[in-house]
Amino acid sequence: MEQFKTASECDRRSILLLGAAGAAALFTGSSFAEAGETQVTELAPGVTLKTLKEVDPVGQITGYSKARLMEITFQPGAKFGPDTSKTVDICEIQGAALYVEIDGKEPFTLQPGDVYACPVGNTETDTNKSDKPCIMRIVELQPA
């Protein structure tokens, strides 16, 4: 998971947001089918994963077989992990801040509105240390 905090943060963030917007456009196109009913899974006490849509981007995003739009909701005090990323994810934080620990890196806090990328292979633990729910919106790309 890489947080963008360099001098060129605006440029990187703009590019990432445009990419996320393009990926989100895939989910609104009429040529893609919705996954049906929204699936909700409890990942840990106080942590739920909601799969909003799943699409088949064949021919539109080279090298990926599926794209999913998901939300992970962390209730106040909830913790999830350690978990190792198996897909490429573009994430945005909404609601409360999220404390992130990634193996081999210094812990950091993502604020509401922060957008970041999660590469394959990161092992991370996420904790909501606030008194409000935190929502992580995710566009997940699964390799072909």
User: How far apart, in whole angstroms, are the C-alpha atoms of residue 58 and residue 7?
Assistant: 36
User: How far apart, in whole angstroms, are the C-alpha atoms of residue 32 and residue 8?
Assistant: 35
Q: Which amino acid is at 106?
A: E
CB within 8 A of 87, min separation 6: which ones?
A: 120, 140, 141, 142, 143
Q: Which amino acid is at 53?
A: K
* pTM (2 d.p.): 0.73
Residue 85's Cβ-count burial label (10 Å; 0-12, 13-18, 19+) is middle
User: How far apart, in whole angstroms, are the C-alpha atoms of residue 71 and residue 100?
Assistant: 16
100-118 tens-digit pLDDT:
999 999 999 999 999 989 8
For residue 82, cis peptide bond before it (omega within 30 degrees of 0) = yes
* Phi, psi dihedrals of residue 43, rounded to the nearest 5°: -85, -35
Mean pLDDT, residues 88-105: 95
Q: Where residue 37 falls among pLDDT bands split at 50, 70, 90?
A: low
* Phi, psi dihedrals of residue 117, rounded to the nearest 5°: -110, 140
